[in-house]
Structure 1
Amino acid sequence: MPLNILIVGCSIAGPALASFLQLAPFPHNERPEITVLERATSVRNQGQNVDIRGVGVALLQKLGIEHAVKTSTTGEAGVQWVTSAGKVWAELGSANDGETGRHNPTSDIEILRGRMAQILWRRSQTITDDSAVEYIFGDHLDGIEQDHTANTVTVHFAKSGKKRTFDLVVGADGLQSTTRSMVWGSKHEAECVHPLNMYAAFFSMPRDEAAGDSEYRRCYHTHGRRLMSIRPDQQNNRSTSLLTVINDKDARLGDVATGHGKAVVAAQKELVQEYFADAGWQAPRLMREMVATDDFYYSMVAQVKMASWHRRRVVLLGDAAHCASHLSGMGTTLALLGAYSLASALAKHSKDVDTALSTYEVEMRPHVDKAQKLMPGMLRVLSPETAWGVWLVDTTIRFLVWSRVFLLLFYFKGPDTEPDGLPEDGFTLPPVYKE
């Protein structure tokens, strides 16, 4: 009998897994029945820029979406550091700049998370036929029960009130995974989620060339461990902004990071305004646009570290299992690789789900461990507390960029960025996907 699989979450890892499961070399008549559940009423058009490196590019090719992704990039040409007056005092090109750009902050594939999710969602529906994957939007789980005798999982849908039974439930619902919290418990949550004392707000706004918006990402840091950046969104002729603050004393920053709904978003915006209203540079513009935007997203920055990513017939994928934080630059690549590895293991051990899940963990663990090793002192170095610290960081960055020593840091910042090959695995290669 084919496996009946529920995937919770429709961002990156969820629809990627739905596609890889359709392409994987399952035995005849054993291709899984797939359901994807998403709390939002549609694919979320939120989230900051994500980049895809190394093996991630090979996985785009295996999905047949490399063309669609590369024609949907943000068009970012590199990164510039600016003064409060907007003067550029240091600049690095993108990874498209050959040897000098290979290890720069801007990847050769920079794409908005929401756009990437849209491509993956649509791709999962075109690999075989429209009925291959069932998508349920606007609902979420509020109950998960495992039958250890039958090796099944019965879930309860909060809004519809329905109960359904699956052979496997995959939690691909992000850093603040409700699947993880329901199955592993609140005590485990406190142990496995490791906050980095950083909080981030992201939103888009109209492009304003008069204000200096260009194809470069512009970064401005100021005292109080605050950082503001403005990045291009070539696809929509807009700009995006990421605001971060590091603070281990104000509990409000963490408190407003949980929950859903308009009241929660309003509280988040109000707190961000409090922190950045006097930050200088383009803070007045950013605060004005943040209030007006409807794609605001706020989150704590954290890592997830777990001894095991599965418990009986519930398994975690992507950030829900092993969030490395956006500081690693490897979250999307890890989500794609995890989806590929899980689909491959389930196809190889289609009669033994327990072995498949263990195989998935063994294959993924080395990649995750490496990605979670952040550059020592990264947060404190890049986000100084005092004006004197800001001057010191500015001076240091100027020297590193001028001397090209800066490039060496990216060789040691964590995971490899060199392209990695994938084994001959029997996956079906679909036709190139173009929108």
Structure 2
Amino acid sequence: MRAVIIGAGIAGLAAALRLRQAGWETLLVERAPERRRGGYAVTFGGIGYDGAERMGILPELKRRSFVTRELVYRKTKGERRFALSGQTITAAMGKKAFNILRGDIESALYETVKDATTIRFGTTITAVEQDADAVHVTLSDGTVEHADLLIGADGLHSATRALVFGPEENYRLDMKHRVAVYMMEERPAELPVGTTGSISAGGRTFAVISVGDDRTAVFFGYRTDPSQGKPSLEEVRAIYNDMGWLVPQALEGLETADSVYFDSISQMVVDRWSRGRVVLLGDAAWCVTLFAGYGSSLAVGGADLLGAALERHGGDVPAALAEWEAHLRPEAEKKQKLGRRVKGVYAPPNPLLLELTQLPLRLSSWGPVRRMVERKFQLEG
């Protein structure tokens, strides 16, 4: 059995690994000329943790993880407001979860699967045809690949989805926020090792995160409206130019960063994830958004479950895809609903909402409440 996988991000690499373990031949197609690195920090757990364990990559993911010793919430000029201890953060995540950069998940998957699959960088999908026995994929390098399955793991703006399922606007739900993320060249002296600093004000959130090995991730996230027009990095500088502390340094680094992830935050609400021998995986299928904080876990867990379904059904690919979606869709839709529900507290638009959303965090930073919270999560495992 053979699969063509479009997209060499977390979902695509995880699918290549799991299908290879199931005895499939795989071809990975990636439009970028080389592997991307960095990305924002995520909490990895749930079905992703279980899937990574079954696929044998959990130890390597844990090795690349980082621990936040303190999360400090600051005022717009940098004055300290309150902080959460590393012990409280760890207890709240639970035993089967950890913090890691998206790029480090990709790196771990890539190093594991690179010798067991073929990867074509700088290549895109241009056409798809299928019949009862195979799917035929035309690529930008002029080749036509024939396979038993085509997996569209090419992200939020999936070309596979556009070709087979229809244009993006049919499925895109705009969450009216934008995000810019990049890696600083070095950790600022004002940011202690292993700590995170965050500022929220006026519908904007800024965070700078020490993620280990002296690396530092920078995060800008802010509310938008349709009148703002086409997004640009100039917009980011204009929106954050009144903030102090590390924000000016982070804005300066934005201009010289090797790679910046900058996009509107959107969900993909796709009524069906497969058509014949074509299936969508990861953000191309569901994109729960960073509001829900579960995208990387769903991508790895979804790939693992897809491989298991294909193993159970042998050559009956459509039956495997139907079973897989029926099993996974409730989890993805639950996380999408969570993302829509909490987006209002992500970057509070006024001081009152900011205080209300941060009140539980303030309370959990107070000694007696902190110990109660830690104890609660420890008891729940």
**What TM-score results when the alignment is normalised by the length of structure 2?**
0.89
**Correspondence for 2:181:** 202
Could you tell me how far apart the structure 2 residues matched to 1:273 and 1:106 are?
39
Task: Provide the residue aligned with 2:123 in structure 1.
Answer: 139
Letter in 1 for 2:48: G
Query: What percentage of residue pairs aligned between the two structures are identical?
Result: 28
CA RMSD of aligned residues (A): 2.7
**CA apart distance, 1:55:** 3.2
Residues 393, 213 of structure 1: CA spacing in aligned structure 2 closer, same or farther, 3 A cutoff?
same
Structure 1: stretches of 5+ with no match in the other structure = 25-30, 257-267, 412-417, 420-435
Q: Secondary structure at the match of 2:321?
A: helix
Runs of 4+ aligned structure 1 residues displaced above 6 Å come to: 405-408
Show the 5 A alignment for 1:130-209: 130=115, 132-146=116-130, 148=131, 150-158=132-140, 160-186=141-167, 189-209=168-188
Q: 1:277 aligns with which of 222, 227, 241?
A: 241
Asked if structure 2 preserves the Cα contact closer than 8 Å seen for 1:222 and 1:390, the reply is: yes
- Give the match's secondary structure for 2:189: helix
Check conservation: 2:267, 2:288, Cα contact below 8 A. yes
Alpha-carbon separation, structure 2, partners of 1:76 and 1:93? 8
Aligned counterparts, 1:295-310, within 5 A: 295-310=259-274
- Equivalent position amino acid for 1:196 in 2: M
Identify if the C-alpha distance between structure 1 residues 382 and 313 changes in structure 2 by more than 3 Å, giving closer, same or farther: closer
Judge conservation of contact 1:51–1:330 (CA < 8 Å) in 2: yes
Q: In the superposition, relative to structure 1, how do residues 154 and 272 fare at CA in structure 2: closer, same or farther (>3 Å)?
A: same
The answer to whether the 8 A contact 2:289-2:339 is kept is no
SS in 2 for 1:234: coil
Q: Matched residues in 2 for 1:406 and 1:198: separation?
A: 35
Q: Could you tell me which residue of structure 1 aligns to residue 215 of structure 2? A: 238
How many equivalent pairs are there?
375
1:120–1:194 Cα change, 3 Å: same
Amino acid at match of 1:102: A
Of Structure 1 and Structure 2, which has the larger fraction of its residues in helix?
A: 2
> Which residue identity lines up with residue 156 of structure 1 in the other structure?
T
Which runs of structure 2 are paired with 1:332-351 in the superposition (5 Å)?
332-351=296-315
Label 1:383 to 1:407 Cα distance change in 2 as closer, same or farther (>3 A): farther
Q: Deviations over 1:158-207 (max 9, x none)?
A: 2x122222221100111111111111112xx2232211111100011134
CA distance in structure 1 between the aligned counterparts of 2:14 and 2:162, rounded to whole angstroms? 23
In the TM superposition, what whole-angstrom CA distance separates every residue of 1:9-66 from its partner, at most 9, and x where no partner exists? 1111111111111223xxxxxx322101111122211421122113322222222222
The secondary structure found in structure 2 opposite 1:50 is strand
> In 1, distance between residues paired with 2:302 and 2:180?
27
Distance (whole Å) between structure 1 residues aligned to residue 126 and residue 154 of structure 2: 14
- The 1:107–1:167 alpha-carbon spacing in structure 2 relative to 1, beyond 3 Å, is closer
For 2:339 and 2:143, the matched residues in 1 are separated by 46
Counterpart for residue 429 of structure 1: none
Secondary structure in 2 aligned to 1:161? coil
Q: Secondary structure at the match of 2:291?
A: helix
Match of 2:193 in 1: 214
**Contact 1:79–1:106 (Cα < 8 Å) also in 2:** no
- Distance in 1 (CA, whole Å) between partners of 2:307 and 2:341 is 36
Code of the residue aligned with 2:174 in structure 1: it is P
CA offset digits 1:281-305 (Å, max 9, x no partner): 3321111011111121112112122
Q: Is the 8 A contact 2:30 2:121 kept in 1?
A: yes
Structure 1 residue matching 2:37: 3-state secondary structure: coil
Q: Which whole-Å deviations, capped at 9, do the CAs of 1:368-417 have from their partners, x for residues lacking one?
A: 12222227753333423235554565566424643749998xx9xxxxxx
Match of 1:118 among 107, 114, 133: 107
Q: What letter is aligned with 2:106?
A: A
